[in-house]
Structure 1
């Protein structure tokens, strides 16, 4: 039962991060917080990742690791197994489930709070776009695009990945190819060779596309695929925390080589390192962080963020029949014409520019990497008001290890927080559910403790 003294938390963003945090705030023992969840889409739990309706778009983490609840590691698998017999159930916990089904799972986490009148008094879900956030001495005010204003004790930014604005003459990578539309026999140029590219190729193939598909990126690297292997147990004392990036990568290669000599798979070493990646990032010298971002991030990403085996099979078939081509190159210019566009590019290591006529260009280079270029009005307002700043490496909103947003003058806020991919400057590996669920649970514990005595306990660190 809420009361006039019940503290109010507003969460901006109803995708995965926002839903996980909302669930934790409502279910935390002794929690009496009131939560308002603001999402611009009509459905919660979807975001960019899980709004797709294409059954070929699979999770890139196996079902056994996708529980939303840190203390119930089989929660998603049990939910999936309990679905009716007509649902597309996969054979075992090591499977990779369609992302649209995972979106259903995330939405189901809040179904009880939405349907139960008692719980509904603690949770409000508003559809709209937050356009302004202002922190006062006693509260935080939020304004929506339709003119509505709300006041809360705490505001948490959970808006997820900041996608690029769709450029003229480019097809939208988050929409089905039929929305472009793209002629079945046209040559399609995809900029970027990561998992977003994989999704778009799978969409083209599902729609019956027959023309050539060219995927282009600076290094021309393709995400590796998962295998049915278990993570290697790596002792914390064996990890070289605080080492330079050169020494750290040398240590990692040595562990992989030793594991391979014993018949192991490199994937088990990468997965075994996962519990330590946030601490490794935190203790990595800034110069080494910069070197990693410039020179090693692309290789790390293709080994760390892998595609489902089913997706790999479809992609391999497209390569084998010559329909899909991977190219290490940089686009120089795009000139739209009446049949699509004339694209000028330069292959890696070659100074001579080349041309290609394409029917469509799709920018799958992913998220906005410079937070200062954000199109998110909520984040923009924080920058404009001096309530937030970009981290020194320019990869995210700067937060402390408790997810508190740091202002332009360097002070950690007591009422403004962020979770999920926005916090990658502090946490780095914070884009997948296994990482975000722990972050949200820890922040919920902090906010519930704060509400219990009205004094933030900022000495309890969420990060490593």
Structure 2
């Protein structure tokens, strides 16, 4: 018999940080198996890029994997030499995301083993296709027919992407280099004007593209920019829990105006409310959550998920040179046009349909809405099996406060949990490392408490 083992499905940021928290637990000999399709852990959707221009959207000072050691990433950055390589001399700096992938890998290096030994950590490359109860534990089933046994399993599948690869002039930037088969002067259209659009513009520029870029979204809003600021201290008693979205937005505006009179700005308010975001979301009715998603989500995201000053500088330069145009417009459709595509769109407030001919269309519209939209994914498989259920707003699966997955009958699982973006339906803001690390610390403790002194079968 071996010590209790936790099988984590997904080796991106969420899965890696959770594994580190479990392995660091004092006096609790829990082993971890990570199942990851990619050859390396830590290189999920967010940190799998190798483009040097793709930098973190959060300052280095806030990127520690451990809430109780807030300088952990910064100290690693200085000790590893990466800080010098990227000229990062200040914790406010924004380093390449590829550097953060190295940090995630380094978190687990002390515990690594192979699938055939008894090391605390085992990493298995494979695709998970199912999770089921097995005796007093769980069995995680892989596409190759292998079953990995453990006392608990955790879904850490991160952001679910559209189930398609690049085809013709249409590009999925998460799976295909946007500059592939693109001449330097070719025009490009980007769907979406958020952080992924900014990454795409920077990548194209760094790879020598000089053609015109048009980016459109319904409102044409760009992410705001990070500035040095101090989060406002906001007590729970001052937060309007349980009110409607309209009142909540008025409260934000009034509080931001007050902050400005005190020498601060809206960033202090948005960052100050962060500890209360999950409770705010949970206090909304389903109807109010839907109203937020329809009418206020974009407003929230451009203020909450900001871009680094360096990215803003590069974006403004591209716009000033006439290379980049941002449109508030609705995508109507597209048709083949020679070797490219003719895109039809309608500007905000206009009934007239316009067209633009481009060589490539890059889809930066964001993460899928609908946890089972990617039919090839494990989440869709679990929903189909009744092991999990989507939330009413269809932005994730239902979990309880302890992150236990709720099944089709409304019952929380005893040994199946979820962490990270897949739990956004319960916690909303659970996509950034400062939020994920808090969740991972709590879940690691929950799993250890529930498993107690259990031991279990070998993990394979």
Coarse TM-score class (shorter-chain normalised): over 0.9
Partner of 2:159: 161
Deviations 1:28-71 (A, max 9, x none): 11211121101111111110111111111111111111100111
Partner of 1:238: 238
The answer to whether the aligner puts 1:54 opposite 2:54 as a matched pair is no
Partner of 1:173: 173
Partner of 2:127: 129
The answer to whether the aligner puts 1:42 opposite 2:39 as a matched pair is yes
Deviations 1:371-398 (A, max 9, x none): 1312453212211210011001111011
CA distance in 1, matches of 2:112, 2:199: 32
Q: Which runs of 5+ in 1 are unaligned?
A: 456-464
Deviation at 1:118, TM superposition (A): 13
CA distance in 1, matches of 2:106, 2:76: 9
Question: How many residues in Structure 1 have an aligned counterpart in Structure 2?
Answer: 452
Task: Check conservation: 1:176, 1:203, Cα contact below 8 A.
Answer: no
Deviation at 1:190, TM superposition (A): 0.2
The answer to whether the aligner puts 1:191 opposite 2:188 as a matched pair is no
In the superposition, the TM-score normalised over structure 2's length comes to 0.94
Deviation at 1:437, TM superposition (A): 0.4
Task: Check conservation: 1:172, 1:180, Cα contact below 8 A.
Answer: no
Secondary structure of the structure 2 residue equivalent to 1:82: helix
Deviation at 1:90, TM superposition (A): 0.5
* Residue 88 (structure 1) aligned to one of 86, 89, 110: 86
Secondary structure of the structure 2 residue equivalent to 1:32: coil
CA distance in 2, matches of 1:48, 1:307: 18
Task: Check conservation: 1:9, 1:154, Cα contact below 8 A.
Answer: yes
Aligned alpha-carbon RMSD (Å): 2.0
CA distance in 2, matches of 1:238, 1:390: 32
Partner of 1:373: 373
Partner of 2:218: 218
CA distance in 2, matches of 1:324, 1:135: 53
Deviation at 1:78, TM superposition (A): 0.5
Deviation at 1:244, TM superposition (A): 1.7
Deviations 1:299-322 (A, max 9, x none): 100000000100000000011111
Spell out the pairing of 1:317-336 with structure 2 (5 A cutoff).
317-336=317-336
Spell out the pairing of 1:19-30 with structure 2 (5 A cutoff).
19-30=16-27
Change (3 A) 1:434 1:351: same
Partner of 1:421: 421
CA distance in 2, matches of 1:62, 1:293: 27
Q: Which runs of 5+ in 2 are unaligned?
A: 456-460
Task: Check conservation: 1:162, 1:376, Cα contact below 8 A.
Answer: no
Secondary structure of the structure 2 residue equivalent to 1:392: coil
Spell out the pairing of 1:111-130 with structure 2 (5 A cutoff).
111-114=109-112, 121-130=119-128
Task: Check conservation: 2:8, 2:33, Cα contact below 8 A.
Answer: yes
Secondary structure of the structure 2 residue equivalent to 1:302: helix
Deviation at 1:88, TM superposition (A): 2.1
CA distance in 2, matches of 1:76, 1:376: 34
CA distance in 1, matches of 2:158, 2:343: 32
Secondary structure of the structure 1 residue equivalent to 2:214: strand
CA distance in 2, matches of 1:116, 1:415: 24
CA distance in 2, matches of 1:400, 1:330: 37
Secondary structure of the structure 2 residue equivalent to 1:387: coil
CA distance in 1, matches of 2:430, 2:383: 22
Deviations 1:395-449 (A, max 9, x none): 1011111111111110000011110000000000000000000101100001111
- Of stretches 179-188 and 19-28 in structure 1, the one that deviates more from structure 2 is 179-188
Partner of 2:140: 142
CA distance in 2, matches of 1:179, 1:346: 27
In the superposition, the TM-score normalised over structure 1's length comes to 0.93
CA distance in 1, matches of 2:328, 2:354: 13
Secondary structure of the structure 2 residue equivalent to 1:180: coil
Deviation at 1:5, TM superposition (A): 5.1
Change (3 A) 1:178 1:452: closer
Task: Check conservation: 1:39, 1:128, Cα contact below 8 A.
Answer: yes
Partner of 1:462: none
Partner of 2:458: none
Deviation at 1:135, TM superposition (A): 2.6
CA distance in 1, matches of 2:118, 2:50: 29
CA distance in 1, matches of 2:220, 2:366: 15
Change (3 A) 1:367 1:376: farther
Deviation at 1:119, TM superposition (A): 9.7
Partner of 2:14: 17
